[in-house]
């Protein structure tokens, strides 16, 4: 059995280059804590929804010496066969929220370590979409990796419990501005609670709440001219007021973990701004349960701070698409498969060799 790593062991190497009025994303995001040269790298860590069957297969085949022990450590710490589920499991095996959340975080941490050891990957800042914020905090030296995995396992269980007690759901509304989607939610309030859960793109917004209200909001959105309004296959109504009831219990779990001050700048998806301290990070994770994901603001804040390269670290390419649509001049990379990981490693190594010549 491997020994538990501390947050410092996982710390990034330094110097990387590469309800009215509306709460929709603002045009003028907060400034970062200090000026940074243009073109620096922002590492983005995915959340729930980026999982897929067999997502660990390529990683273990090509980088097993690094990824294998890390995934095994997660298996032993959580008492879950995550390695098997991420390699051989079906979509149904990955569907349970209490499985999905630690699986996505474990995969992202494994990819991160491969990039660090083989490609000297050292971004200037990190961020994560909802669940991905836990991975970002590990990358920034705020949380120990096993603490993050245990927290997301508990988080997933608590969220799943809400879903069992309250018939709820989520839906993606495409083709309307965020302010219009907020108006739709207010209009559908007679059917129950429904709120904006994710501000993903300028014209892609996710809503969450009680099932009848979500269905009514989708119909109203289509009537307003939305291109699509489709239900999402999730186990609970995430990022809305229905999750407020589990905040106190989860806050007690957060209080048992040490949160260090960030050693790499971290952007929070709760506020779209920079995390100031370990205490601030802990408080934002509590608030995150019932608060919307402000991903548009995250990307605008990063871009305003001189970050021109966006690298999605972990399974899927969802965040890469959001980045391309929101910051069109950005250079965007993903690590969804062995080919993309190898390309990023080779590019990073090549750049370092040029710097040393």
Q: For the stretch 148-184, what's the b/e string if a residue is b when 16 or more beta carbons lie within 10 angstroms of its beta carbon?
A: bbbbbbbbbebbbbbbeebebbbbbbbbbebebbbbb
> Which token pair is 95?
């569907």
Q: How far is CA 161 from CA 44, 67, 213, 283, in A?
A: 28, 31, 20, 22
241 catalytic residue (yes or no): no
- Contact present, 127 and 266 (Cβ < 8 Å): yes
Beta-carbon count within 10 A of 44 CB: 33
Report the half-sphere exposure of 72 (CA within 13 A, side-chain side). Answer: 10
- Dihedral sign, Cα of residue 285, residue 286, residue 289, residue 290: negative
- Kindly give the residue spans of alpha helices, DSSP state H, lying in the chain: 57-78, 82-88, 97-119, 132-139, 145-165, 178-187, 211-223, 247-255, 278-288, 295-304, 318-326, 338-356
Catalytic residue among 239, 280, 300, 303: 239
Distance CA 206, CA 202 (A): 11
DSSP structural state of residue 81: -
130 catalytic residue (yes or no): yes
Max distance between CA atoms of the chain, in angstroms, equals 67
Omega prior to 319 cis, within 30 of 0 = no
Catalytic residue among 50, 108, 129, 130: 130
Distance CA 329, CA 316 (A): 21
Catalytic residues: 130, 239
């Amino acid at each position: 059995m491997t020994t538990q790593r501390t947050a410092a062991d996982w710390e990034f190497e330094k110097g990387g280059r590469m309800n009215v009025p509306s709460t929709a994303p603002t045009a003028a995001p907060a400034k970062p804590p200090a000026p940074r040269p243009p073109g620096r790298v922002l590492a983005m860590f995915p959340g729930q929804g980026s999982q897929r069957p067999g997502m660990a297969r390529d990683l273990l085949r090509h980088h097993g010496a690094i990824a294998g022990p890390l995934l095994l450590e997660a298996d032993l710490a959580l008492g879950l066969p995550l390695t098997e589920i991420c390699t051989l499991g079906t979509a149904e095996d990955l569907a349970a929220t209490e499985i999905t959340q630690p699986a996505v975080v474990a995969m992202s941490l494994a990819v991160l370590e491969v990039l660090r050891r083989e490609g000297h990957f050292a971004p200037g800042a990190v961020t994560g979409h909802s669940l991905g914020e836990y991975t970002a905090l590990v990358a920034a030296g705020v949380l120990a990796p096993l603490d993050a995995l245990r927290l997301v396992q508990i988080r997933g269980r608590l969220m799943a419990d809400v879903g069992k007690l309250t018939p709820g759901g989520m839906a993606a509304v495409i083709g309307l501005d965020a302010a219009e989607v907020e108006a739709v939610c207010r209009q559908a309030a007679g059917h129950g609670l429904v709120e904006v859960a994710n501000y993903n793109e300028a014209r892609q917004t996710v809503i969450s709440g009680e099932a009848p209200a979500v269905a009514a909001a989708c119909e109203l959105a289509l009537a307003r001219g939305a291109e699509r309004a489709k239900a999402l296959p999730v186990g609970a109504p995430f990022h809305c007021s229905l999750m407020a009831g589990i905040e106190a219990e989860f806050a007690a779990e957060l209080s048992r973990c040490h949160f260090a001050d960030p050693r790499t700048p971290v952007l929070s998806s709760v506020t779209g701004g920079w995390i100031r301290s370990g205490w601030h990070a802990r408080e934002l994770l509590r608030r995150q349960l019932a608060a919307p994901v402000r991903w548009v603001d995250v990307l605008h804040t990063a871009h305003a701070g001189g970050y021109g390269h966006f690298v999605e670290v972990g399974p899927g390419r969802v965040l890469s698409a959001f980045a391309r649509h929101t910051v069109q001049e950005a250079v965007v990379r993903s690590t969804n498969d062995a080919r993309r990981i190898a390309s990023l490693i080779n590019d990073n190594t090549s750049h370092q060799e040029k710097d040393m010549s």
